[in-house]
Amino acid sequence: MIQVLRQGTQENATNPFLAPHLPDNLTEALEAAGRGEISLHPPVTIPPHFRGRIGYDRETCIGCKLCLRVCPANAIEHLPGEKKIQIHVDRCCFCEQCVDVCPVSCLWMTDQGLNSSYERASEIVTDSGKRL
């Protein structure tokens, strides 16, 4: 019950819709916005502690496989020959358990929220480099 009250008072983290009212034709609405005839909602700002696409620093990883053990979505695959992992973002449920359990902090949640792709291989994280 407390969570419901808390959500009712917080600002939305997503846009309700592009325009104040649902248009009959989205293409016409976007063209009208381009001409300045209607206004669109601005994009939302990324909320603090946003859990987006996972980042992975391959060089720091020690291959302990703790992240594999805690992942409820089986999104992490161990590469035995290299003693490293790769993350299947298309399976990830963004729970952040792998980040919490990693002893060397080689996993983190980025602020990247767009994960859609027609190429499934592009949804596999093998190395994001050093965390900024």
* Tokens read off for 128: 């994001």
pLDDT over 90 (residue 86): yes
Q: How many CA atoms lie within 13 A of 51 on its CB side?
A: 11
Residues carrying CATH 3.30.70.3270, the chain: 54-125
pTM of the complete model = 0.63
Q: How buried is residue 76: exposed, middle or buried, by Cβ count under 10 Å (0-12/13-18/19+)?
A: buried
d(CA 1, CA 75): 32
**From the DSSP assignment, how many helices (H) and strands (E) are in the chain?**
4, 5
CATH class of the domain at 54-125: alpha beta
CB under 8 Å to 24, separation ≥6 — which residues?
Answer: none
Alpha-carbon distance 115 to 55, whole Å? Answer: 13
What is the per-residue pLDDT across 7-17, written as a single tens digit (0 to 9) for each? 667 666 555 55
In angstroms, the CA 25 to CA 61 distance is 49
In this predicted structure, what is the pLDDT of residue 20?
A: 55
| Cβ neighbours of residue 33 closer than 8 Å, sequence gap 6 or more | 18, 19, 39, 40
131 vs 61, more confident: 61
CA nearest 90: which of 50, 118, 62, 56?
118
* Alpha-carbon span 42 to 19, nearest angstrom: 10
